[in-house]
Each structure stands twice: as structure tokens, then as C-alpha cells.
Amino acid sequence: MVIEEPADISCTVEEYGLQRHIAELDEIGLTVVDKETLRVSDAWVDQLRDGILRVGESRADATFELDKNPTKAFTGRPSEIGHMIFSHLVYEDPVFVDVLTHPVKKALMTHLLGVGHRVAVSDGWIKWQTPDDWPSEETTGFHADQSVVPAPWNWQLPHIANMNWTLTEYSREDGALAYVPGSHRLERLPELGEALPLAIPVDAPKGSLVIFNGALWHGSYRKTTPGLRVTLIGQHCRPYMLPFQDFKGRIPEATIAANHDPAYLRSLLREDEDQMQAAPS
Ligand SMILES: [Fe+2]
């Protein structure tokens, strides 16, 4: 058995001033890192946002304009009328690969999941004004992302963690993530109806990174404003789990080599597995 050394993220924590965010992940189970701390440009954020809109238009055969609700009548479950999720974004544009290796994301994800974690999901989420006839305050029911693993959990060793990049302004009115601070420490799923009265919204400017523990109770609020909320979603898992979406062997070597952190990218994509199996134990 290979025993991994604890990850040393202290350099990045120091360089970007992430101490508060590490503490929030431990105490609250979620943290929001703003664009200034991330040192990302407006142009880069817009590239992610526009990439998701482009993928959405192509796959849904619809027009998505930021300040308008789509006019196309989509079919689906009533709870899903009002948003669409577009999966496997990493195949669509190198920018969706590069977002995986941002140093702040790497450090915070490593704090939650240790060394060798995998990217499990590469999704874009477009959400628009919730239809008037939707009866509930929440549009995504409350859950924890690591529900595939039976409780009890250890909040200090989550199986899964999630990153959400807010690519439009993000507030309760705009249909934000709703979460229950500290609920990861209960180490179980919520009962039906238990979480909503305890929940608060994520309030984040455009271009922020939201990271949270896979044991945290969360859902989302109805969107009361017209127009689009655009987010990039990326659940990650520990290396003993298989990713929900599997990207191994499907990203061109040239794309990996061009990334600023190819070793981390190879680990995220499970491209290091042959190497791990060959290593002495
Ligand atoms: Fe979730």
C-alpha cells in the first residue's frame, strides 16, 4: 500500500492569502474566493461564461442571451424547467481544462481531498427565471454531493468536494446556491424539509470561486430575476473513487503538455494511474 505524504499547500496559502478560506472550509464547509484573490481577468471569466453559452446553444438548439429568459419551450420534469446542465465541458474548449488547474482551486481542493484527487464532473449550468407555477422556494432539492457513500461520514475526510465558478452576478434573487453553514459536521444527509429553514444563500460577485465540502447540505433558491445565471460546476473525488464522468485517455497529450501544471492535470484526469500501479509499494 502506498502511504501518501500529507499535501503541502502552505506556499499557495501564503502567496494568495488563503488562511481565512481554509478556516471557513473547516468551520462552515464552504468558502467564496473573489476574483481579486484569484487574480483572474474579466476576459478570462467571460471566456468561460461565453463558452458555456455557446455549448448550450449548440446542444439545446436554443438561443441564450444573458439578460433574457430563453423563449424555447423545453420539455422535462417540472423541477428541471428553468435550468439546463451541459456535461463534459473539457472536450469543448481548452479553457475548461485550464480552469481545473488554477492554483487557488488546487490548494483548496487539496485541503479537502488530499493529494491525487480526481475531477469527477465538468459541467456548465445555465439557469433562468423560475416559472411562476413552480411551488417551492428551492429549485434544487437539498442534498450532499457525497450521498453515493453511505453515512456516517468524517467531515475532515470528505469523499467528494465541489467547485462552482460564478460567471454571472450571484445572489439569492439570481437563484444562488442555498446551503446550511456547518452542516458538514453533522456527517449525514438532511431529512426532508430539514435544511431549507436553516439555509442561507451564497452571495458572490461574478468571477468568484465557491468551494465546498461534499458533506455540506445544499440546494438552490428559485430565480426571481429575468435572464441567465451561468456557473461552471466541478465535483472532485478522492482517488479510491471512480469519477462520475471519466476523462481518462480522452484529453490530447498536447493539451495536457500546454497546461501550466501538467502533473496536477494528469492526476486529475487519472493519467497517472499506470505510473501509480508500477510504483513500489
Ligand atoms: Fe450538489
Render pLDDT for 12-21 as a digit per residue (tens, 0 to 9): 999 999 999 9
The answer as to whether 139 is a domain residue is yes
pLDDT band at residue 3 under the 50/70/90 scheme: very low
As a whole number, mean pLDDT of residues 251-276 equals: 91
Residue 280 in domain: no
State the pLDDT at residue 74: 86
Residue 3, domain member (yes or no): no
Q: Would 135 be classed as within a structural domain?
A: yes
Summary mean pLDDT of the chain: 93
- DSSP assignment, residue 222? P
Is 23 within 8 Å of 200 (Cβ atoms)? no
State the pLDDT at residue 7. 75
Question: What is the pLDDT confidence band of residue 247, given thresholds at 50, 70 and 90?
Answer: very high
Tens of pLDDT, residue by residue over 129-180, are: 999 989 899 999 999 999 999 999 999 999 999 999 999 999 999 999 999 9
Q: What is the pLDDT of residue 138?
A: 93
> Is 169 contained in some domain?
yes
Parent domain of 262? 13-273
Of residues 235, 221, 184, the one with CA closest to residue 30? 184
User: Mean pLDDT throughout 237-264?
Assistant: 95
User: What pLDDT is attached to residue 81?
Assistant: 80
Query: How far apart are the CA of 130 and the centre of ligand 1, in A?
Result: 18
Query: What is the mean pLDDT of the segment spanning 204-231?
Result: 97
Ligand 1 center to 253 CA (angstroms): 31
Task: Kindly state the cell numbers that stand for 29.
Answer: 464547509
In angstroms, what is the span from residue 170 Cα to ligand 1's centroid? Answer: 17
What is the band of 4 on the pLDDT scale with cuts at 50, 70, 90? low
pLDDT band at 1 (very low <50, low <70, confident <90, very high): very low
Whether the link from the prior residue into 152 is cis, omega within 30° of 0, is yes
Query: How many structural domains compose the chain?
Result: 1
Mean pLDDT over 172-199 rounds to 97
Residue 4 in any domain: the answer is no
In the predicted structure, residue 197 carries a pLDDT above the cut 70? yes
pLDDT, average across residues 245-256: 94
pLDDT score at 80: 74
Q: How far is the CA of 192 from the centre of ligand 1 (A)?
A: 16
Among 243, 224, 43, which Cα is nearest to 134's? 224
Q: How far is the CA of 122 from the centre of ligand 1 (A)?
A: 13
pLDDT band at 278 (very low <50, low <70, confident <90, very high): low
Task: Report the separation in Å between the CA atom of 145 and the middle of ligand 1, taken as the mean of its atom positions.
Answer: 5
Q: What is the DSSP string of 165-204?
A: EE-S-B-TTBT-EEE-TTGGGG-SPPPTTTSGGG-EE--B
Q: Which has more confidence, 203 or 81?
A: 203
Give dist(CA 109, CA 211) in Å, integer: 8
- Tell me the torsion sign for CA atoms 32, 117, 270, 236: negative
Distance from the alpha carbon of residue 175 to the mean position of ligand 1, in angstroms: 14
Ligand 1 centre from 143 Cα, in Å? 6
Cut 0.75: pTM above it? yes
Helix axes 19-27, 103-113, angle to 10 degrees: 40
Overall average pLDDT of the 78-88 stretch: 87
Cell of 250: 480522452
> Following DSSP, what letter does each residue of 117-171 receive, concatenated?
-EE---EEEEE-PPPTT--SSEEEEEE-TTTTSPSP--TTS-SEEEEEEE-S-B-
Q: Does residue 279 sit within a domain?
A: no
Centre a 10 Å sphere on the Cβ of residue 145 and count the other Cβ atoms it contains.
22
Instruction: Report d(CA 57, CA 92) in Å as an integer.
Output: 13
Q: How far is the CA of 107 from the centre of ligand 1 (A)?
A: 21
How many angstroms is it from 2 CA to the middle of ligand 1?
31
CATH of the domain at 74: 2.60.120.620
Give me ligand 1 centre to Cα 218, in Å: 6
3-class SS of residue 6: coil
- In-domain check, residue 8: no
Measured distance CA(57)–CA(37) in Å, rounded: 32
Q: Average of pLDDT values for 30-46?
A: 98
Ligand 1 centre from 120 Cα, in Å? Answer: 13
Q: Is the pLDDT of residue 213 over 60?
A: yes
State percent of the chain over pLDDT 70: 95
CA of 277 to the centre of ligand 1 (A): 32
